[in-house]
Homo-oligomer: A and B are copies of this chain.
Amino acid sequence: MYIILEGVDTAGKSTQIELLRQKFTEAIFTKEPGGTPLGQKIKELVLQDTPSTLAEIFLFLADRAEHIQKLIKPNIHKRKRIFSDRGFISGIAYAHIKSALPIPKLQELNELAMQGIKPDGIVLLLLSPQELLRRISSKELDTIEQRGIEYLLEVQNIMKRLIEESSYPYLIVDASLPKQKILHDIVEFVKEIDEH
């Protein structure tokens, strides 16, 4: 079972992943980008070498293809439970904003990178504009967050739309809820998928 967790920075993905780790001790926890040794190096290239827009999109697609081939596929085959911190949903959202390439084109590129693998569920931790502003203000800004709250809201809106319009089971959860309540909702969502 392959579950993707999505959410903009500060939405609390890391916290939930830590809680899920304690709950599902047998599960595989991974991430995009950087979920494989090659992916780690690709991530470094993107951070250090300031690729042109399109080169960056292809680098992240290479990371995704490698991750699917070397980590997701073999673990699906072993019937493992896999939680991935980010996946093609953020991939498409960030790439669309950066490049202005049409969403359908980016979906096509990502389908190629996914090699027929589909997630069994997608969880989006959704922040209200007020809550996002509050969290950003109270935090040291890193490079992504410096791009501003409008940028993060735009990314989040695209992610939400992509998830709602997809054919995959999904859970959109208010990221301002107490972390144990969010965890509970995610665990219930996972159980529902298990039962299908």
Contact = CB atoms under 8 A, between A and B. Distances in A.
Chain A facing B: main interface SS: helix
A115 B54 contact: yes
A144 to B, nearest CB: 20
A52 B37 contact: no
A129 interface: no
A171 B55 CA distance: 30
A62 B42 CA distance: 11
A51 interface: yes
Interface stretch (A16-24, A65-73, A151-159): A65-73
A59 interface: yes
A54 to B, nearest CB: 4
Contacts of A38: 45, 49, 51, 55
A58 B61 contact: yes
A193 to B, nearest CB: 27
A4 to B, nearest CB: 19
- Count of identical protomers in the assembly: 2
A65 B69 contact: no
Given A49-B37, A49-B38, A62 B66 contact: no
Which of A45, A49, A58 has its CB near the most chain B CB atoms (within 10 A)?
A58
Nearest to A101: B112
A36 to B, nearest CB: 9
Contacts of A45: 38, 41-42, 45
A127 interface: no
Interface of A: 37-38, 41-42, 45, 49, 51-59, 61-63, 65-66, 69-70, 105, 109, 112-113, 115
Given A51-B66, A54-B66, 12 more contacts: A38-B51, A38-B55, A54-B65, A54-B69, A54-B115, A55-B63, A55-B65, A55-B69, A58-B61, A59-B59, A59-B62, A62-B62
A-B interface, 9 closest residue pairs, ranked by CB to CB distance from nearest: A58-B62, A52-B69, A55-B66, A54-B65, A55-B65, A58-B61, A55-B62, A38-B49, A59-B62
